Structure 1
Amino acid sequence: MAHDSGAAVTPKFSIADPPAGGEPYLLTPGPLTTSAGVKRAMLKDWGSWDGDFRAMTADLRRRLLAIAGDKDGTYDCVPLQGSGTFVVEAMLGSFLPPDGKALVLVNGAYGQRTVQTLGYLDRSYWVLDKGDYLPPRGAEVAAALDADPTITHVVLVHCETSSGILNPLQEIAEVVAAKGRKLLIDSMSAFGALPLDPQTVPYAAMVSSANKCIEGVPGFGFVIADKTEIEAAKGRSHSLSLDIHAQWAAMEKTGQWRFTPPTHVVAAFLQALREHEAEGGVAGRGARYAANCDTLVAGMRALGFETLLKDGWLSPIIVTFFNPAHPKFDFNRFYELLKAKGFIIYPGKLTVVDSFRIGCIGRLDTAVMHQLVVAVGEALNEMGVDDASPPSSAINERAKLVA
């Protein structure tokens, strides 16, 4: 039962805490499987103007700054209602001035969505597109910045979940800082499980959301930004509701959200933050996800599946697998068979080859991943698929693009 203060007992992670009521495990990049404690935290109603809820908001902001590694008070945290895309748009509209220009590093659907958003915002941009298989590298970014001195900002997706690729953030951040430009990071699916310390990865702003590696539920995102950047954003936003400076100024003055906050989601997120701390913070959470990924990849490869990415670029967040070439493999039936066995996976989001994705994040451990691999093998048998290897055309396409 949730306490009036918003506090709750935080058990260590245990596989003995499966989804309630026979729910399937969500092997997706968020929403994801949450703990029983996070679910229970949503059973109480909160007044959005009440002092207890204002204290919860302040606690949330402090805890996120601690995870971010803000040791000297240079940065601040601003939560914002809506999905992850809302807060990405808010970041772009607030921190990229109308006369600025962004270099957008693209290697998947979410980088492409950034480009689309900048088009809506009528901001200037240039795109470095690496396709689905490869990350942008520091030397390429340096060359692009040297070639166009009008570029003021670089925008990067930390973990591009359409392919599962983990981009070399520190390498790129160092180049951006050396060239005197500013870095904006979409760390939607990485913050909380992978290091993002501004002392070693300098950035102007980054964004993430409640229902990713902190293991909360959907309903809000948050920006962590240099306070000087927040102050400079006054009057810049294109939107009333997505104005980061206005949201920050209101919270600093009153402790309240400007518009109706997702109170139950905030309560759940605070419990998720306590569980994150109890697990060992970023290092502990990241280690569990990495073990999940290793177990998944080894098991799927043993069944004959092949990962889209080579090992060096696999992330511990989500893994993309090629669809089998076997004529009896049908993804929709595969999905339903796995769902019936207690696992919900994610369809692919690539344009070049047919694929599907399996997430490693959420309230999961290696025992769950072993169970999933067994279920995948059973599903293949039920479909009459005795060979899970991908079509040669997919392998050839990858070889051509990676070469």
Structure 2
Amino acid sequence: MKPYILLTPGPLTTTETVKQAMMTDWCTWDEDYNVHIVQEIRKSLVELATAHTDEYTAILMQGSGTYCVESVIGSVIKPNDKLLILSNGAYGDRMGNIAEYHGIRYDMLAFDETEQVSVTYVDDYLAHNADITHVAVVHCETTTGVLNPLKEIAHLVKMYGKKLIVDAMSSFGGVPLDVQELGIDFLISSANKCIQGVPGFGFIIARQSELMHCKGVSRSLSLDIYDQWETMEKGHGKWRFTSPTHVVRAFKQAMDELKAEGGVEARYRRYCENHDVLVDGMRSLGFKTLLPDEIQSPVITSFLYPHAGFDFKGFYAQLKEKGFVIYPGKISQADTFRIGNIGDVYPDDFRRLVEAIRSCRY
């Protein structure tokens, strides 16, 4: 049963078969779980991330995507290292907050929320700050829906000999990329985003040669990615602490369904069509997008309030009553709301959404 469709950037609408996969209980010490579910997931994630699978490995971590971002920053950046964070939204800013908590040396290049990270500024900064050792960036900043120029940023980071950390929370599995070709050292994502699983764990795709340098670095027991990886390697899929078994099994089902759909390219095309149908329909009703089309991701779309005095809560309630749940805005400089295009949702769902909005009073 679907009481409503979630049009959010995660948690999102999942298939009935993903939900059904959670109906069985699993023993965390059993081979059927560790070898045939966890290890297969780890292998499949690396295959999803790159054609050069021998250079990378996957680490699964309990908790939300932010747990995984913190685990990477806390496990990778050593006391003598210095991190450069490229931020154009709340999730880039959150990496700065994490660095503060950990006492990590860092600089932040902050950009407007409605613009991409500037490749020119990054080039200039790296040219004049040789002490930077690592660069971190959010691929798709769901604060607004902007898609940052990852290929160009990655090229600069490698040109200057730095290590690259990418928060691909809202893009991995839904926007094509190859971590080896881009030179990404650590990529972070979550179960409940474009792979269309449910919340409960995240994962890191790590370059194995760089992961080896992480032993003993973390100041956190639970968030130590090297220790988690080592236990999974030696224990053939065993987690250090209780794993979210039902969520993990659902994720395997979601991975199988991604493959059946045609892989990342096919899912990307569907998300793009979802976005196009949504934007065309909303513009026909007089709504305006926050971002210009050329920097907009297909993951989530921000719309400006249509007029002064627009009652978002009332609008939200009307849509929920009609079977759709959307997202409030997250930026300070404009009144916006957001509509997610990812999950088990299709162009016809967005055509129905536009008709539902047409009948709303706002």
TM range (shorter): over 0.9
Deviations 1:209-265 (A, max 9, x none): 000000000000000011111111000012000000000000011120000000000
Q: Which residue of 2 aligns with 1:45?
A: 25
Q: Which residue of 2 aligns with 1:166?
A: 147
Letter in 2 for 1:295: V
Letter in 2 for 1:324: P
Select 1:346's aligned residue among 316, 320, 327: 327
Deviations 1:13-35 (A, max 9, x none): xxxxxxx2x42000000000000
Q: C-alpha displacement at 1:326, in angstroms?
A: 4.0
Q: Is the 8 A contact 2:47 2:53 kept in 1?
A: no
Deviations 1:286-305 (A, max 9, x none): 01000000000111111111
SS in 2 for 1:261: coil
Q: Which residue of 2 aligns with 1:54?
A: 34
For residues 3-402 of structure 1, what are the structure 2 equivalents within 5 Å?
20=1, 22-55=2-35, 56-255=37-236, 256-327=238-309, 329-379=310-360, 382-383=361-362
Letter in 2 for 1:32: L
Q: Is the 8 A contact 1:170 1:200 kept in 2?
A: no
Which sections of structure 2, spanning at least 5 residues, go unmatched?
Answer: none
Distance 1:264 1:151, change over 3 A: same
Q: C-alpha displacement at 1:72, in angstroms?
A: 4.2
Distance in 1 of aligned mates of 2:108 and 2:250: 38
Bigger Rg, structure 1 or 2: 1
Distance in 2 of aligned mates of 1:252 and 1:31: 29
Q: Is the 8 A contact 1:32 1:361 kept in 2?
A: yes
Distance in 2 of aligned mates of 1:72 and 1:337: 48
Q: C-alpha displacement at 1:271, in angstroms?
A: 0.3
Q: Which residue of 2 aligns with 1:390?
A: none
Scaled by the length of structure 1, what TM-score is found?
0.88
Distance in 2 of aligned mates of 1:300 and 1:60: 38
Distance in 1 of aligned mates of 2:336 and 2:109: 24
SS in 2 for 1:352: coil
Q: C-alpha displacement at 1:200, in angstroms?
A: 2.2
Which sections of structure 1, spanning at least 5 residues, go unmatched?
Answer: 1-19, 384-403
Moved more, 65-74 or 355-364: 65-74
SS in 2 for 1:200: helix
Letter in 2 for 1:294: D
Distance in 1 of aligned mates of 2:292 and 2:53: 39
Letter in 2 for 1:173: A
Q: Is the 8 A contact 1:204 1:229 kept in 2?
A: yes
Distance in 2 of aligned mates of 1:87 and 1:248: 13
Distance in 1 of aligned mates of 2:293 and 2:271: 15
Distance in 1 of aligned mates of 2:118 and 2:326: 30
SS in 1 for 2:264: helix
Distance in 1 of aligned mates of 2:24 and 2:261: 25
Identical-pair percentage: 48
Q: After TM superposition, which residue ranges in structure 1, 4 or more long, deviate above 6 angstroms?
A: none
Distance in 2 of aligned mates of 1:341 and 1:186: 34
Distance in 2 of aligned mates of 1:334 and 1:222: 36
Letter in 2 for 1:53: Y
Deviations 1:130-178 (A, max 9, x none): 1111111322111111111111111000000001000000000001001
Letter in 2 for 1:114: M
Deviations 1:336-372 (A, max 9, x none): 1110000000000101111110000000000000011
Q: Is the 8 A contact 1:81 1:262 kept in 2?
A: yes
Q: Is the 8 A contact 1:137 1:171 kept in 2?
A: no
Letter in 1 for 2:280: A
Distance 1:70 1:250, change over 3 A: farther
Scaled by the length of structure 2, what TM-score is found?
0.98
Q: C-alpha displacement at 1:199, in angstroms?
A: 3.3
